[in-house]
Amino acid sequence: MKVSPFIKWSGSKRSQAKEIVSYFPKSIDVYYEPFLGSGAIIGYLKPRKAVTSDINKPLIELWRELQKNPKNISSYYRKQWNSLQKNGHTYFYKIRDKFNKEKSHMDLLFLTRTCVNGLIRYNKSGEFNNSLHHTRKGIHPDRLEKVIFEWSTVIQKYIFQDFDYKKTTQHAQKGDFVYLDPPYFNTGTRYFGAIDHQEFIEYLADLNKRGIRFALSYDGKRGEKSFVVDIPKNLYKKHILIHSGNSTFNKVQNGKVEKVYESLYLNY
Ligand SMILES: C[S@@+](CC[C@H](N)C(=O)[O-])C[C@H]1O[C@@H](n2cnc3c(N)ncnc32)[C@H](O)[C@@H]1O
């Protein structure tokens, strides 16, 4: 049974998790996920041992809190949710300002659950700038509490680090497995953090040299337009296109709904 996401996140693999995991090796010693985000894949896979990271510090602090203190997060969200119902949008913007000053992980949860489409979007100065989703109330605290406690049980033995991806897998060995879901190269500032394409290619080459298996989610294609960024052919054995939804991007102009695909590269 998969665990529902406790946090909303840009680029979450929630809808593709089942298919992506179906391509994973059957036997994994330690599972590594260096671009964790909302952890849609670990919620599906539930590996025995996991080492995870994300460069977004408040996000990792939130994962650690979820692991050690689920009750605390749940009651904090309940308090904030009640204040939102009572005071409306002024409360949301008060918490948004507070988050931009203090970067508290506890506020991050509330913001992702109540902002427009749960999109964690930052401006150029690194401030969270999405607005309140006026027509939605945010997940009810009773429902979220259930999800929080389920997650907390699953992740008790996992390791959460606020490292850069390269450092996260430095001790990985043969028999281990790395799932990579980096920020896309063609979406500019939508995600927190950015990675250098050339450095990333060298990183993949190093994993190959060390005999470590990986699966990499990467840019794909929409309709006829390909976003496939060059991954040198010697770095992987299989390239799979995964249907990740439909885009209404061109609908207004030409009435066309196009299928969106994302790439999955496997080196095994
Ligand atoms: C596409 S999202 C991952 C989504 C995740 N698979 C999920 O299901 O929610 C990419 C993540 O990489 C993180 N990130 C960006 N640059 C990074 C870096 N250099 N090292 C580690 N994480 C990074 C971002 O903070 C973001 O959470």
**Nearest partner of 249 among 229, 218, 225, 219, judged by Cα:** 225
Q: Is 31 within 8 Å of 214 (Cβ atoms)?
A: no
What spacing in Å lies between the alpha carbon of 257 and ligand 1's midpoint?
Answer: 28
The string of pLDDT tens digits covering residues 9-20 is 988 999 999 999
Task: Identify the pLDDT of residue 112.
Answer: 94
* Whole-number Å distance between alpha carbons of 112 and 121: 10
- Confidence band (pLDDT; 50, 70, 90) for 197? confident
Selected residue with higher pLDDT from 227 and 184: 184
Model confidence at 169: pLDDT above 80: yes
User: Can you list the domains of the chain with their CATH numbers?
Assistant: 1-219 (3.40.50.150)
Q: Which residue is associated with the tokens 């995964």?
A: 242
The string of pLDDT tens digits covering residues 23-62 is 999 999 999 999 999 999 999 999 999 999 999 999 999 9
Model confidence at 95: pLDDT above 70: yes
Structure tokens at 231: 């991954």
For the packed helices 89-102 and 70-87, what is the interaxial angle rounded to 10 degrees?
A: 140
Amino acid at site 174:
K
User: What ranges make up the beta strands (E) of 3-137?
Assistant: 31-33, 50-53
Q: Which long-range contacts (CB under 8 A, 24 or more apart) does 16-19 make?
A: 16/217, 16/242, 16/244, 16/262, 17/41, 17/43, 17/44, 17/45, 18/44, 19/242
What spacing in Å lies between the alpha carbon of 183 and ligand 1's midpoint?
Answer: 6
The string of pLDDT tens digits covering residues 129-149 is 999 998 888 999 999 999 999
Residues touching ligand 1 (Cβ under 6 Å) are 9, 11-13, 34-35, 37-38, 40, 53-56, 164-165, 181-183, 191-193, 195
Pick the residue whose CA is nearest to atom 19 on ligand 1: 164
Q: Is 155 within 8 Å of 48 (Cβ atoms)?
A: no
> Which residues, including other chains, have CB under 8 Å from residue 104's CB and lie 6 or more apart?
58, 98
Can you tell me the mean pLDDT for 117-140?
87
Which atom belonging to ligand 1 lies closest to the Cα atom of 11? 1
Query: Which of 6, 7, 53, 54 should be mutated for ligand 1, with most atoms under 8 A from CB?
Result: 54
What spacing in Å lies between the alpha carbon of 193 and ligand 1's midpoint?
Answer: 8
Highest mean pLDDT among 34-43, 112-121, 181-190: 34-43
The string of pLDDT tens digits covering residues 205-241 is 999 999 999 999 987 776 666 666 678 999 999 999 8
Average pLDDT, the chain: 90
Q: Is 172 within 8 Å of 32 (Cβ atoms)?
A: yes
What spacing in Å lies between the alpha carbon of 35 and ligand 1's midpoint?
Answer: 4
